[in-house]
């Protein structure tokens, strides 16, 4: 994780199989001063999370190979990255998805498409970065 007070940018890992969502979030958060890494599915995201130890993870719920739910459960079992804040994204807005995300250990849930100000605010707060 980024060291608070060292002047380094906070890091975000974006995990989504939809290239348009990844590109949208990447640009939005880079423009807001975050270091951004992307992953194309839960397996790729889990590997990158363990290697990079990001400050925040934004993860899609429904993905091939490994779902966001499976990825978050695996993260929570890992000592190095188990406390990393996770925002779960889903194109579905039903209470079942929300309950699944919370049970897996997600800290926040957003419906796609996420609103820019909400993404920036939640990412800043979860990373410990001061709001603008």
pLDDT tens digits along 71-126: 999 999 999 999 999 999 998 777 888 899 999 999 999 999 999 999 999 999 99
Strand partners, 86: 57
Residue 65: CB atoms within 10 A of its CB come to 13
Give the residue, 92 or 18, on which the prediction is more confident. 18
pLDDT tens digits along 42-83: 999 999 999 999 999 999 999 999 999 999 999 999 999 999
pLDDT of residue 96: 84
Distance CA 21, CA 127 (A): 20
Distance CA 56, CA 85 (A): 5
Give the residue, 41 or 9, on which the prediction is more confident. 41
What residue ranges in 30-101 does DSSP mark as E strands?
35-39, 56-60, 86-90
Is residue 8 within 8 Å of 36, Cβ to Cβ?
no
pLDDT of 3 above 50: no
pLDDT of residue 94: 76
Q: Say what the pTM is.
A: 0.91
- pLDDT grade for 7, boundaries at 50, 70 and 90: low
């Amino acid at each position: 994780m980024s060291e608070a007070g060292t002047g380094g940018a906070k890091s975000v890992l974006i995990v989504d199989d939809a290239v348009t969502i990844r590109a949208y979030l990447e640009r939005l958060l880079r423009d807001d001063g975050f270091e951004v890494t992307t992953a194309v599915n839960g397996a790729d995201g889990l590997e990158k999370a363990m290697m990079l130890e990001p400050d925040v993870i934004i993860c899609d719920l429904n993905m091939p190979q490994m779902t966001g739910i499976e990825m978050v459960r695996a993260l929570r079992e890992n000592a190095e990255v188990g406390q990393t804040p996770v925002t779960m994204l889903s194109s579905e807005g039903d209470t079942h998805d929300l309950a699944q995300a919370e049970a897996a250990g997600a800290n926040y849930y957003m419906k796609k498409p996420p609103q820019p100000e909400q993404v920036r605010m939640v990412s800043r707060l979860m990373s410990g970065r001061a709001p603008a």
